[in-house]
Amino acid sequence: MPHLIRSSLWLAFFGAILAAWWMMYVMAVDMNLDLLGRPNLIEQEMAEMYPRTSMTMPMARFGPLFAMWAIMMAAMMLPTLVPTLTTYERLIVSAEGSRAGWCGLVLGYFIVWVGFAAVIAGVQLVLLYGGFINMMGVAEIWLSALLLIIVGAFQFTRIKEVCHGVCHAPMTYFLGHWKTGFGGGLRMGLGLGAFCVVCCWGFMALGFVGGVMSLLWMGLATLLMIFEKLPDIGHHVIKPTGVLLIAAGLALVIL
């Protein structure tokens, strides 16, 4: 029975991830977007001819934007939680962990990212109505360059180092904040989620460079965040990524 419960929970977890990616794909198809999040020519011409009409589209309202970002958080961030969940599983035997605590951990982590989805949806609306990004969430060249440089520089900060340390080695966090049961898992999930948001917010902000509905950007950002959390290589990819992002930002300025 314990093995059956374990298998069912993992299947449900990965099923939720696949469902989130499928929903993002369906949304992109419904909006006639390609893998880069770009509209087809007819949609683009209509937006240029009737810019005010485009402001009444669903992606110009908070509700649909928040839903989109929340689904995106599930698609992109839940896969990065796998190393943390496997670490928690080792404590089920040795430290009175439980499957209820496992579920609470997932829920707490996701709640924090849903909160971040609300924040970044609000930021997108401000940028949209301020004329800094278009309806597809793509920023002006100067803003894209600035975001790339800021996110790249953040990779070298002490804040990034500390938060990444928690995400990269969750066992240390568990030992210092261990709580049993569903409520304990929920509290630890909220704490880990907070560290993860601070660690990874920049990759989400880069959606405004590649287009927030770009499935290609989503895939690349997800892979990069997974690499950062892998035990063997996580610490070795942070600064090279920062160098590449800064170089890309400077290239946009120069070119």
Residues 6+ apart with CB under 8 A from 44: 38
Instruction: Identify which of 89, 72, 88, 102 has the alpha carbon closest to the alpha carbon of residue 218.
Output: 72
Phi, psi values for residue 78, rounded to 5°: -60, -40
Q: Rounded to the nearest 10 degrees, what angle do helices 234-254 and 141-154 cross at?
A: 150
Integer Cα distance of 136 and 8 in angstroms: 38
Judging by beta carbons within 10 Å of its beta carbon (0-12, 13-18, 19+), is residue 208 exposed, middle or buried? buried
**11: its two tokens:** 């299947």
What's the pLDDT at 216?
A: 87
What's the pLDDT at 38?
A: 57
pTM above 0.85, yes or no: yes
Integer Cα distance of 89 and 149 in angstroms: 38
What residue has token string 């950062």? 228
Phi, psi values for residue 14, rounded to 5°: -70, -30
Min mean pLDDT across 112-121, 129-138, 233-242 is at 129-138
Integer Cα distance of 255 and 251 in angstroms: 6
Distance from the Cα of residue 7 to its chain's centroid: 25
Integer Cα distance of 157 and 8 in angstroms: 40
What's the pLDDT at 29?
A: 79
Average pLDDT, the chain: 86
Integer Cα distance of 3 and 8 in angstroms: 9
Q: How confident is the model at residue 1 (pLDDT cuts 50, 70, 90)?
A: low
